[in-house]
A and B are shown apart, each in its own frame.
Chain A
Amino acid sequence: MLSGIVISQTDRRPLYLQIMEQIKRRVAIGDWRAGQPIPSIRQLAVELNVSVITVKRAYLELEREGVITTQHGKGSMVAAHTDLGSRIQQQDLARHLEQAVQLAALLGLSTKELELRLREARHQMADAQKERS
């Protein structure tokens, strides 16, 4: 099974973080489903041309975050939580909301004004969807 992950040379973040992010993204959007087996550490290392120790570290961190599980002798797989995809997306949403609140504060918007902007954004999205269908 090929992961399809692509590493960027110019991204100055550590390689293991890039790998983690790409795996989390696949899980979040549902490409990699709960309980699905994923490439072993060595397989992924070979596919990406990176060292085994880098992939090992990425997998360890992902396991710690509950995104994947590794069973000795059976390999690694996406964690079995059914809400995993949405959990990652919830984390993303929380981050975006935090950013929105901070920006609103900088602009001096009140909570009511912020709510208004939120409603506007939702209407725009609904309109765009109607146009497409």
Chain B
Amino acid sequence: MSGLAVHMEGVGKDYRFFSLRDVHLEIPEGHIVGFIGPNGAGKSTTIRILMGLVHQDRGHVTVLGHPMPAEQAAAKRDVGFASEDMRLYDSVTLDWHMRFIRSIFPTWDETYAQTLLKRFDLRRDQRIKGLSHGQRVKATLLLVLARRPRLLILDEPTTGLDPVARHEVLRELSEVMGDDRRSILFSSHNTQDVEQISDQITFIDRGRIIDSRDKETFLDRWRRIRVELPSGIQLPSLSGVIDVKQTGRLAVATTNAYDPRLASAYESAGIRVHNIESMTLEEIFVANVQHSREGIQEGIEA
């Protein structure tokens, strides 16, 4: 019976110009959770709270069974963390960093580290100062991966990487999934990566979690329905349709709760259904954020 690698309940944090509100996040053991949100939505703040670097003002946080931030030292023994604003020491080599991490973490796998050096095309005797951005990102990930931590918390792990490097990183992250006791949380702008390897997806916008469920459920529930309205007929408003764009007699309805009966409902109203399209995660993300912001706006105006 596997437990939760991460459990956040009712977490809140107040800053002068931004607030994180009522964040609820669960990562079951053995799962990959993709964390998507626009810039400034609160992804990094949430991740810092998970790492004990920021203390929440409200709510409970448990990482690998340890309450945070109280037991952060114990939790971090089994957590691998890499963030976009993290830098290795410029004046020393990758080899120095590898030996440093190895001396601290008993789970360091030197053979795997060597493999990663080859796969990531890195030289261990090179100074960090001389590395390109992509190489630095890969070096940081190597240091995290070679320890084989039980939980990986990654803030934008593929941002700024060329397609080859991105593919290599995704491959290594997938390999982590071979062990059903290891879990990953990663935040990303790159919805294609998230769509490919995540088991669950959580959307965050303006400090609030706006949606969080199984990836397959997301992809199943969201559809674009293209219809043609005969003259004189109005598009009925159906529950589950959250957006309609109409020009002339052609309309596109977006739904986040797709059911084949929706198409039948349109057809029985005399409307011709041209196409029912599934949406990419990126399209779902944008539509979801827009819908959420409109909803909040309406709530404020009501």
Contacts and interface: CB of A to CB of B under 8 A. Distances in A.
Given A51-B32, A54-B215, A54-B216, A46 B198 contact: no
B196 A43 contact: no
Interface string B211-253: 0001110010000000000000000000000000000000000
Contact of B174 (A14, A16, A45, A53): A45
B177 interface: yes
A57 B178 contact: no
Interface residues of B, number: 20
A52 B30 contact: yes
A12 B177 contact: no
Contacts of B196: 15, 49-51
Contact of A49 (B197, B199, B215): B197
Contact of A51 (B171, B198, B278): B198
A51 B170 CA distance: 11
Interface of A: 12, 14-16, 42-43, 45-46, 48-54, 57
A76 B252 CA distance: 42
Contacts of B178: 42-43, 46
B215 A14 contact: no
Nearest to B173: A49
B31 interface: yes
Nearest to A15: B196
30 contacts: A14-B216, A14-B219, A14-B278, A15-B196, A42-B180, A43-B178, A46-B174, A46-B177, A48-B174, A49-B174, A49-B196, A49-B197, A50-B174, A50-B196, A51-B32, A51-B177, A51-B198, A51-B199, A52-B31, A52-B32, A52-B177, A52-B199, A53-B31, A53-B199, A53-B214, A53-B215, A53-B216, A54-B215, A54-B216, A57-B216
A84 B241 CA distance: 42
Interface residues of chain A: helix, strand, loop or mixed (majority)? helix
Given A12-B278, A42-B177, A43-B178, A49 B170 contact: yes
Contacts of A54: 215-216
Given A12-B278, A45-B177, A51-B177, 14 more contacts: A14-B219, A16-B216, A42-B177, A45-B174, A49-B196, A51-B198, A51-B215, A52-B32, A52-B199, A53-B200, A53-B216, A54-B215, A54-B216, A57-B216
Contacts of A45: 174, 177
A14 B258 CA distance: 15
Nearest to A54: B216
A70 to B, nearest CB: 15
